[in-house]
Amino acid sequence: MSEQNVVHGIVKDEELTLNLPDLVSKKKLIKYQRGEMAFDSYDTMNYFYFVMSGKIKISQINSKNAKEQTINILTRGDMFDTVTLLDGKEHDYISTVIEESEVVEVPIAHVRELIENDSAFKSFFFPYLAKQMRQIEDLAVDLSLYDVYNRLLRLIGRNIDKTKNVTKLNLIDNLSHEELASLVGSVRKVVNRNLQKLKEEGVIELSRKHIKLKNLQDLLEKLKY
């Protein structure tokens, strides 16, 4: 992992500067390589992280059977850890870099000050927090009420790129089948079987580590039931 100090104002992307208002002057840019562990529960007791690029998986693992459940995949524009930020308690998780990533580390006390005093930051932070809560609700509903086939359908449906080409998928396009399995609470063998079923039904096309949405209308019809 390589680190460098961030000169105040170096982050120029208009969207991400909302995350880093002028009130925050003490920050550090951290770069992670694929396969590294990113921040841990000790880090997030003291610091808050803004993801600038890449993909970082947040998961939990059952030590008895080694089964992994992915809670979230952080990417550009995400923040972590909102749980510890708000309740001040240690948060049990594993963070794994699945694509070369850059994050900005800010002392957590500074971010708490922003929530209290900076209206521009609050107008960005609370809608983001609501979005995270919806994601956790979706995960709970998927795991409780749907089989793996329908979990995959719903996962694909939530990741359609609606701003460019509707046949392109955000976030999950280049994930391994093992990573997809941990997202939907299953194992690779079962996910492989269900992906092949979706391929045979003409909903998706599969190539090595890539999923292409072939028939949006069929997907939408299946999601109705």
- pTM for the structure as a whole: 0.82
> Is the sign of the CA dihedral 188, 135, 84, 29 positive or negative?
positive
Q: Which two tokens stand for residue 85?
A: 């930020």
Instruction: Give the domains, in start order, of the chain with CATH numbers.
Output: 13-135 (2.60.120.10), 146-223 (1.10.10.10)
Q: pLDDT 10s digit of each residue in the chain, 225 long?
A: 443 333 333 333 434 444 454 556 678 889 999 999 999 989 999 999 999 889 999 999 888 888 889 999 999 889 999 999 999 998 889 999 999 999 989 999 989 988 898 887 888 889 889 999 999 999 999 999 999 999 998 998 888 876 655 566 778 878 888 999 999 999 999 999 999 998 888 888 887 777 887 777 778 777 765
Measured CA to CA, the distance from residue 57 to residue 63 in angstroms comes to: 18
